[in-house]
Amino acid sequence: MEKQRDVRAPAWRYSVVVGSVLLVLVVRLLSLGVPAGRDESGYLIVGSGWHGSGPSVYGDYWVDRPPLLIWIMQLAGDVTTLRVLGCLATVLAVLGIAWAAHLARGPRAASWAAATAAVFGVAHWLGVARVNGEMLASVFVAWSFALTLYALLRTGRVAALAAAGAGVLAACAMLVKQTIADGLVFAVVLALAVAWQRVGQGRAVVRMLVWGALGALLTVGAALAGAAMRGTTPAELFDALVRFRVDAGDVIRTSASSATDDRLLVMLATWAVSGLGFITLLACWHGVRRREPVLVATLAVLLFVSAAALLGGSYWGHYLQQLVPAAALAAGLLADQLRPYVRRGLAGAIVALTLGNLLWSAVASSEEGSEAEVVGTWLRDSGLPSDTAVVAYGQPNVLANAEMTSPYPYLWSLPVRALDPELDELSSVLAGADRPTWFVDWSGLDSWGVAPGRLEPALHQHYREVIELCGRTIWLAVDAPRSTAPRERCP
Q: What is the pLDDT of residues 113-151, one digit of tens each?
A: 998 999 898 887 788 888 999 999 999 999 999 999 999
Domain borders along the chain are 11-363, 370-477
pTM, 2 dp: 0.89
pLDDT for the residue numbered 127: 80
The CA-based angle 404-410-414, given to 5 degrees, is 130
- Whole-angstrom distance, CA of residue 343 vs CA of residue 464: 64
Of 61-70, 228-237, 440-449, give the lowest mean pLDDT range: 440-449
pLDDT tens, 464-484? 999 999 989 999 999 998 988
Higher pLDDT, 276 or 463: 463
- Whole-angstrom distance, CA of residue 283 vs CA of residue 301: 11
Collapsing DSSP to helix, strand or coil, 474 comes out as strand
User: How far from 296 is each of 192, 289, 309, CA to CA, in Å?
Assistant: 10, 10, 20
| Sign of the CA dihedral running 98, 100, 101, 103 | positive
pLDDT for the residue numbered 10: 55
Of the candidates 437, 429, 365, 358, the residue with the CA atom closest to the CA atom of residue 402:
437
Of 87-91, 348-352, 428-432, give the lowest mean pLDDT range: 348-352
Burial class (CB in 10 A: 0-12, 13-18, 19+), 335: buried
